[in-house]
C-alpha cells in the first residue's frame, strides 16, 4: 500500500499548533507490535529504526483527535499508509515531518556528551507500562508529558538550517540512504531530488569523493544492515532481505556473497 501524507504544512509553527491542539484535545495511544513471518513478508515496506518514532495518524471512525503510534527502536514495523507526520527521536536529534521528504525538520547536536532531550527515557517508561486497559489513565498522563516535552523543546530550538545548498548535496544524499534504504523502489533520482541536485551531478561527486556510485552506496548500506540482522540470528534470511529493501532473496544472497565473500546462510551457520 502506498504512503498517503495527509494535507498538513510541515514547518515549526504548524507542528507547534498541532501539538498544542492535541494536548487540549483527544488522542489515543497505540504501541506498535513487531511483525513476524508472513505478516512481515507481505507488509508495506517493513523496516526498523535505531531511534524511537512517534507516528501521528487519524483516529479510525472519528473526525476529531489523533492516534499516536509508538514505535520502539529495533522493532520491525510497516510504513503507515495514512498519517499526518512522524517524529524520529534520539537523545541527540529530532526529525519531524514526512521523514523521506527534504522539507522534514531537523534538530541535532554534534556533541554526544550533551543530550538534546530526555524523550527516550519517557518513551521507554511508556512501553514498560504496557497496553493493558487498567493502565490507560497512566499511559495518557505520561503521553501528555511526552507531548508537552516535545512542544517545549520545539519552542526552545531554532530550526537547523537545512535549505538546499546549506548542507553539501552528498551529505544529504547519504542521510537519505541511511534513513530510507529499506524502500525497495528507491531510484537514484529520488536521492538526487532529496539532495536538490541532478542525478548526474550527484553521481559524479559521489564517485569523486566516495569512489562508488549512489546505487553502490545504497546496496552497501542495505548489505551492512542485513549483516547486522544476521548476527542477531532473529530472522529468516527471506525476512532479512525484505526488511533491508530486497524484493528477491536470491538476488540479495548473490549480492551479499559478492560483497562479503560468503552467503548469508554461512553467516548464520557461524553463529
> Each residue of 38-84: pLDDT tens digit?
999 999 999 999 999 999 999 877 777 899 999 999 999 998 778 88
Whether 101 and 88 have beta carbons less than 8 Å apart is answered as: no
- Per-residue model confidence as pLDDT tens digits over 185-209: 999 999 999 999 999 999 999 999 9
Domain boundary (130, 156, 182) is at 156
3 state SS of 47:
strand
My answer on whether 227 and 116 are in the same domain is no
Cell of 262: 560468503
Per the domain annotation, does 164 fall within a domain?
no
C-alpha–C-alpha distance, residues 142 and 144, integer Å: 5
Whether 8 and 84 have beta carbons less than 8 Å apart is answered as: yes
C-alpha–C-alpha distance, residues 10 and 104, integer Å: 7
My answer on whether 98 and 224 are in the same domain is no
Average pLDDT over all residues of the chain: 88
C-alpha–C-alpha distance, residues 182 and 219, integer Å: 10
Cα dihedral value 163, 164, 170, 176, nearest 10: 60
Into how many domains does the chain fold?
Answer: 2
Strands (E), the chain: 4-5, 27-31, 52-57, 66-71, 82-83, 85-89, 93-97, 105-108
3 state SS of 92:
coil
Please report the pLDDT score of residue 48 as a whole number: 93
Please report the pLDDT score of residue 157 as a whole number: 75
Please report the pLDDT score of residue 158 as a whole number: 58
Pick out the chain residues at pLDDT < 50.
1-5, 160-165
Please report the pLDDT score of residue 201 as a whole number: 96
My answer on whether 121 and 204 are in the same domain is no
Please report the pLDDT score of residue 184 as a whole number: 93
Domain that holds residue 138: 4-156
Per the domain annotation, does 56 fall within a domain?
yes
Please report the pLDDT score of residue 131 as a whole number: 77
Q: What pTM did the predictor assign?
A: 0.87
Whether 195 and 170 have beta carbons less than 8 Å apart is answered as: yes
Q: Which residues contact 250 (CB under 8 A, 6 or more apart)?
A: none
Please report the pLDDT score of residue 33 as a whole number: 93
Amino acid at each position: 500500500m502506498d504512503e498517503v501524507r495527509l494535507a498538513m504544512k510541515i514547518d515549526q509553527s504548524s507542528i507547534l499548533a498541532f501539538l498544542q491542539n492535541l494536548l487540549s484535545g483527544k488522542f489515543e495511544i497505540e504501541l506498535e507490535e513487531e511483525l513476524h513471518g508472513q505478516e512481515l513478508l507481505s507488509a508495506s515496506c517493513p523496516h526498523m529504526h535505531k531511534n524511537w518514532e512517534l507516528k501521528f495518524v487519524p483516529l479510525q471512525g472519528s473526525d476529531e483527535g489523533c492516534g499516536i503510534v509508538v514505535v520502539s527502536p529495533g522493532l520491525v514495523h510497516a510504513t503507515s499508509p495514512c498519517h499526518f507526520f512522524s517524529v524520529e527521536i534520539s537523545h541527540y536529534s529530532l526529525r519531524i515531518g514526512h521523514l523521506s521528504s527534504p522539507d522534514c525538520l531537523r534538530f541535532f547536536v554534534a556533541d554526544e556528551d550533551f543530550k538534546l532531550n530526555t524523550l527516550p527515557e519517557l518513551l521507554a517508561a511508556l512501553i514498560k507500562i504496557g497496553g493493558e486497559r487498567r493502565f490507560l489513565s497512566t499511559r495518557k498522563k505520561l503521553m501528555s508529558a511526552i507531548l508537552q516535552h516535545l512542544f517545549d523543546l520545539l519552542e526552545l530550538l531554532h530550526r537547523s538550517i537545512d535549505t538546499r545548498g546549506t548542507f553539501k548535496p552528498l551529505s544529504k544524499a547519504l542521510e537519505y540512504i541511511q534513513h530510507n534504504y529499506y524502500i525497495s523502489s528507491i531510484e537514484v533520482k529520488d536521492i538526487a531530488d532529496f539532495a536538490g541536485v541532478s542525478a548526474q551531478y550527484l553521481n559524479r561527486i559521489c564517485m569523486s569523493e566516495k569512489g562508488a556510485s549512489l546505487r553502490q552506496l545504497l546496496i552497501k548500506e542495505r548489505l551492512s544492515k542485513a549483516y547486522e540482522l544476521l548476527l542477531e540470528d532473529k530472522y529468516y534470511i527471506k525476512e532479512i532481505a525484505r526488511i533491508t529493501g530486497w524484493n528477491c532473496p536470491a538476488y540479495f544472497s548473490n549480492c551479499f556473497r559478492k560483497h562479503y565473500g560468503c552467503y548469508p546462510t554461512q553467516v548464520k551457520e557461524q553463529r
